[in-house]
Amino acid sequence: MTPAERVDEALRQCRRSALHLEMRDGYMLDDPDYHAWQAGHRLDQTDRSSWWRPWLQNIADAVARGVQVRRARIVSEPISDYIRYEYDITFPNIRAGEDVRWLPRRRASDLALPGNDLWLFDGEVLLINHFSGEGDWLDVEHVTDLDVIKFSAEAFEAVWQRAIPHDRYQPA
């Protein structure tokens, strides 16, 4: 099963909460969609069929089941070109029902944070995302250690409390 399929399956089984913590300033820099954005292409918010994809449907289905889906992004400022791209393409996540917040890295210096991005489902299923130095998604590690799960949940909540809601965050 690919890393994406593992996350998809965990979200399909989720019943209460899905937390996603992202801490990198770039992911999959060879992504053709990112290159198209760099060349000036922008998603047409009025043309849902051009940007709606199965992952967004999975989020919408989870939200319809009553799952609270929250994503917190810790970003360096001024933001990288990739984070500007990510900011521009966040509206589909919002429309699918995700709650997204942004935390400038300077405001996270005193927080204890995990070493990797993560997903935490229902406070029980922890998936740690492993990336290459270039931001390519390599693997998802399923962590069962209760201390690591508790630490990750507390770290996410600390970030969430400080982070700025997407509709109020103005990238530097």
The 10s digit of each residue's pLDDT in 37-90 is 999 999 999 999 999 999 999 999 999 999 999 999 999 999 999 999 999 999
If you average pLDDT over residues 140-156, what whole number do you get? 97
Q: Model's pTM, two decimal places?
A: 0.96
Cα Rg of the chain (Å, integer): 16
Buried b (16+ CB within 10 A) or exposed e, 20-29: bbbbbbebee
Residue 140 confidence (pLDDT): 96
What tens digit of pLDDT does each residue of 100-112 get?
A: 999 999 999 999 9
pLDDT at 1: 86
Q: What is the pLDDT of residues 26-49, one digit of tens each?
A: 999 999 999 999 999 999 999 999
pLDDT score, position 39: 98
Residues 148 and 152: their CA atoms lie apart, in Å, by 6
Q: What percentage of residues in the chain have a pLDDT greater than 90?
A: 97
pLDDT of residue 172: 75
Q: How far is CA 162 from CA 9, 89, 156, 157, in A?
A: 30, 22, 10, 9
